[in-house]
């Protein structure tokens, strides 16, 4: 069965399916005399293919050779070439809403990939100066690479300067550059030859420049595409890793791990993805060859040395135990990178043993911080990652084992409640189970099981336990061949516990004082509320008195106008009325001034009270809710 039968079927009804006039338009494009008519036909074909699924199928079955001939023979007509490329983009695109049917885009991609010389033709179009020609050509190549990457990889390798043209697109305009990055990411997957050519074409330098321009780990999806391409080239390729290390160094990789705004712990989803991609890059550089011994993997050891020299350890500690970024997957990946960084590398192990985290004088040993994280975290993945760091530190490092044993001292709580807290849960980390085992007879056997791979450390710990149990003094000093947990250290820990206990008591006392002070200010607020109500009532009474005086003046004026009896002259009445008005105004003004002074004083007190309550952390709005509202009965009484 041919492609036409697969698409349209072999019955008469399906062959008559409406294709939107694709055959007629292809005929005009192929045999048209006037260039303008051919351009119009190409524009119509472009619209029809974009809107109709049947038109896509029809074009794939009969029209691809016509479109490709336009691209080969009509290079001088830019409008026609643009239309041909956009038509192919529409033909290979797919909306993905057809259920149980062949996707026209996938089918057309296969048909186009089978066309002889198609890949070389499209790659040659990248030499054109027109922006749209280069852009749509890259879009076509990307669509082909999604479904038929192997075939396109072979075609690119078979085309002279084919990959070089694609690499040049990384320095083009932003839109073209981004499309070229996506295409190269598809092409470099499991294609060693393409990866090797890309390395010699300067892909590392170009990628690092783009990442820096886009803002590093704070950048957008373009940074993610760059890192995906970088990881494709570095994955399982010691030669490419060595080229990067020798030619450019690993400083760019280390710099991308540095958080620009260390005070902010707000991580966008894209920033988290970018950091995970960078951590994957570090993991690939530190990956060991399973066919080689740890001490004989020269490439991994060289990468460990260079990364440590570029302060990668500090950045990883900041991402995992010091900075405590909010994304747990980033913390886990950072811890595993720390383990890979020190695994089998004596110098790096020594550096980690001496490194501290936190600012002075509150800094703590980095190894102690990792151990504490292993004990405190509730996330199993993070716990396992921290255990991996401890394992890599102890592996082949007797001196480090002694140092680690010297800092593992059971706390008072673990001595009293260790068995109850840990129970029989096998998922508890190394340190927690060891704490529980140190003070019980059963713990001797548990220690042997936990430390079976560290024989020297197991013997020293078991000797110390036996000595304490035989003497009946489990709390005394334990000393054996370099392991020394003295009573002085225990007393120091007890003193620290007492200090923190006093601090907690002081804090609780201060908290009670603040609560009492808050209660006092709350009562004071209620008192001021009553005073404000009294002032409001006085003010209302003054208003009523003024209103009554105005009524009396009006009555007097009407009485003077209505009487015909001879009396004082009009000027005398006016003078008396004016004198009375002035006296009333003076009295009202004096009372109002007194009232305003009182109101100002009360407002000042209320403002100070509000400020103090906010300092104490009280919710002022909740305290003042309902203040100033009078019951409905009182309001009705005042209105009446």
Task: Convert the pLDDT of each residue in 434-464 to its tens digit.
Answer: 454 444 444 455 555 555 545 555 555 555 5
Q: Which pLDDT score, from 0 to 100, does residue 455 have?
A: 53
pLDDT of residue 453: 47
The mean of the pLDDT values for the chain is 81
Inform me whether the pLDDT recorded for 355 exceeds 60.
Answer: yes
Q: pLDDT tens across 176-194, in order?
A: 999 999 999 999 998 999 9
Q: Which residue has the tokens 């004990």?
A: 375
Taking the mean position of all CA atoms in its chain, how far away is CA 386? 22
Rounded mean pLDDT of 2-28? 61
What was the pLDDT predicted at 591?
A: 81
pLDDT band at residue 569 under the 50/70/90 scheme: low
pLDDT tens digits, 214-267: 999 999 999 999 999 999 999 999 999 999 999 999 999 999 999 876 555 678
C-alpha 315 chain-centroid distance: 17
What b-and-e string marks burial along 128-142, b requiring 16 or more CB atoms within 10 Å of the CB? Answer: eeeeebbbbbbbbbb
Question: Pick the residue with more confidence: 116 or 68?
Answer: 68
pLDDT above 70 covers what percent of the chain? 76
Domain 188-384 classification at class level: mainly alpha
User: Is the predicted pLDDT of residue 143 greater than 70, yes or no?
Assistant: yes
Q: Is the pLDDT of residue 142 over 60?
A: yes
Q: Is residue 117 scored above 60 in pLDDT?
A: yes
DSSP reduced 3-state for 478: strand
Return the DSSP state at 629.
Answer: P
- Write the pLDDT tens digit of every residue in 414-435: 444 444 434 444 444 444 444 5
The whole-number pLDDT of residue 210 equals: 97
The C-alpha atoms of residue 334 and residue 320 are separated, in whole angstroms, by 6
Question: So where are the chain's domains?
Answer: 1-115, 188-384, 398-485, 512-555+574-585+592-625
pLDDT, position 448? 53
CA dihedral 605, 607, 612, 617 (to 10 degrees): 140
φ and ψ at residue 480, rounded to 5 degrees: -165, 110
Distance (Å, whole) CA 30 – CA 506: 92
């Amino acid at each position: 069965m041919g492609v036409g039968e697969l698409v349209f079927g072999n019955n008469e009804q399906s062959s008559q399916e409406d294709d939107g006039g694709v055959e007629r338009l292809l005929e005009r494009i192929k045999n048209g005399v006037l260039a303008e008519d051919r351009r119009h036909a190409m524009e119509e074909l472009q619209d029809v293919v974009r809107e109709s699924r049947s038109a896509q199928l029809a074009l794939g079955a009969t029209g691809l050779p016509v479109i490709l001939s336009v691209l080969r023979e009509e290079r001088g007509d830019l409008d026609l070439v643009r239309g041909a490329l956009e038509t192919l983009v529409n033909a290979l695109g797919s909306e993905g809403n057809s259920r149980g049917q062949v996707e026209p885009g996938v089918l057309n991609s296969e048909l186009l990939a089978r066309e002889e010389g198609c890949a070389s033709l499209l790659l040659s179009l990248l030499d054109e100066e027109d922006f749209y020609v280069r852009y749509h050509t890259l879009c076509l190549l990307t669509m082909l690479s999604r479904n038929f990457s192997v075939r396109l990889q072979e075609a690119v390798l078979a085309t002279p300067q084919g990959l070089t043209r694609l690499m040049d697109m990384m320095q083009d305009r932003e839109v073209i550059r981004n499309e070229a990055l996506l295409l190269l990411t598809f092409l470099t997957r499991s294609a060693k030859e393409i990866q090797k050519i890309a390395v010699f074409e300067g892909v590392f330098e170009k990628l690092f420049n783009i990442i820096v321009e886009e803002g590093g780990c704070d950048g957008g999806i373009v940074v993610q595409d760059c890192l995906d391409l970088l990881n494709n080239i570095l994955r399982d390729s010691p030669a490419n890793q060595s080229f990067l290390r020798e030619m450019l160094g690993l400083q760019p990789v280390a710099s991308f791990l540095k958080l620009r705004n260390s005070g902010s712990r707000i991580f966008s989803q894209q920033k988290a993805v970018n950091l995970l991609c960078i951590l994957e890059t570090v993991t690939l550089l530190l990956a060991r060859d399973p066919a080689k011994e740890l001490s004989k993997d020269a490439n991994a050891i060289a990468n460990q040395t260079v990364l440590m020299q570029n302060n990668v350890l500090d950045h990883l500690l900041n991402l995992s135990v010091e900075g405590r970024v909010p994304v747990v997957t980033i913390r886990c990946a950072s811890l595993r990178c720390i383990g890979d960084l020190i695994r089998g590398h004596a110098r790096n192990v020594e550096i980690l043993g001496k490194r501290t985290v936190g600012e002075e004088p509150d800094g703590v040993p980095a190894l102690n911080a990792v151990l504490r994280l292993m004990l405190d975290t509730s996330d199993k993945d993070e716990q396992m990652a921290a255990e991996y760091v401890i394992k890599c530190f102890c592996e082949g490092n007797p001196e480090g084992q002694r140092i680690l044993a010297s800092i593992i001292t059971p706390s008072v709580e673990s001595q009293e409640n260790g068995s109850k807290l840990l129970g029989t849960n096998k998922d508890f980390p190394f340190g927690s189970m060891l704490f529980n085992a140190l003070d019980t007879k059963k713990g001797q056997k548990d220690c042997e099981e936990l430390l079976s791979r560290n024989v020297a450390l197991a013997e020293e710990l078991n000797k110390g336990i036996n000595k304490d149990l035989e003497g009946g003094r489990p709390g005394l000093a334990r000393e054996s061949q370099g392991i020394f947990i003295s009573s002085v250290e225990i007393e120091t820990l007890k003193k620290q516990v007492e200090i923190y206990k006093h601090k907690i008591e002081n804090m609780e006392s201060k908290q009670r004082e603040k609560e009492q002070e808050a209660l006092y200010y709350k009562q004071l607020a209620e008192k001021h509320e009553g005073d404000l109500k009294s002032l409001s009532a006085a003010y209302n009474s003054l208003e009523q008195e003024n209103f009554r005086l105005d009524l009396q003046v009006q009555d007097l004026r009407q009485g003077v106008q209505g009487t015909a009896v001879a009396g004082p002259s009009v000027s005398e009445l006016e003078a008396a009325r004016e004198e009375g008005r002035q006296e009333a105004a003076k009295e009202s003004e004096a009372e109002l001034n007194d009232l305003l002074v009182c109101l100002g004083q009360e407002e000042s007190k209320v403002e100070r009270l509000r400020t103090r309550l906010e300092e104490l952390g009280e919710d002022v709005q909740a305290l003042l809710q309902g203040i100033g509202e009078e019951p409905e009965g009182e309001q009705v009484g005042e209105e009446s």
